[in-house]
Amino acid sequence: MIIAGRVLRRIPDGQRILVTAHDAFHYLGRAYGLEVRGIQGLSTESEAGVREIEELVDYLVTLRIPSVFVESSVSDKNVRALVEGAAARGHQVVIGAELFSDAMGPQGTYEGTYVGMIDHNITMLTRALGGVAPERGFQGKLSPGPMKH
């Protein structure tokens, strides 16, 4: 997706880091030059340990990463622990958006199509990491406001 690459390139160099619950987005990192950090491995069923969460909190605080992301197919518990851990160390991290992983958006919506899912993820990532993305996505079809699941 050439347009997706153009949108993601709008993220400033020092902020091109995607932190989320698991490693589902490494394909995106390889394709578009994002560093991807997941709390747990590729399996959505493995539990992250306290050590992994503490290491990732250190990483967030050290690099002053502004946003982390929850995923539609994974519990947000561990990502919220990152936010709380960073706050306890004096660094505010926000949940940038919910990304679709291992699933598309609601059936019958643009986000429920493959292209719509990619558009949603690219647009939300770009905005949350300091880049500028078109208001309704790169095809102008994203639903206004946050998606409800």
Write the pLDDT tens digit of every residue in 29-47.
898 899 999 887 544 444 5
Joined together, the tokens standing for residue 31 give 């394709």
Handedness of CA 36, 38, 41, 45 (dihedral sign): negative
Q: Which CATH superfamily is domain 17-120 in?
A: Nitrogenase molybdenum iron protein domain (3.40.50.1980)
Report the pLDDT averaged over residues 85-96.
96
- Return d(Cα 23, Cα 57) in angstroms, integer: 17
The predicted pLDDT at position 48 comes to: 57
- Return d(Cα 101, Cα 70) in angstroms, integer: 9
**Per-domain residue ranges for the chain?**
17-120
With both helix axes pointing from N to C terminus, report the angle between 50-63 and 77-88 in degrees, rounded to the nearest 10: 50
Query: Which runs of consecutive H residues, i.e. helices, occur in 22-113?
Result: 26-32, 50-63, 77-88
Mean pLDDT, all residues of the chain:
87
Residue 55 has pLDDT above 70, yes or no: yes
Listed in sequence order, the residues at least 6 apart from 120 whose beta carbon sits closer than 8 Å to its beta carbon are: 99, 100, 105, 111, 137, 142, 147
Residue type, 46: S
**Residues 68, 19, 72, 86: what is their CA dihedral angle, to the nearest 10 degrees?**
-40
What whole-number percentage of the chain has pLDDT above 90?
Answer: 59
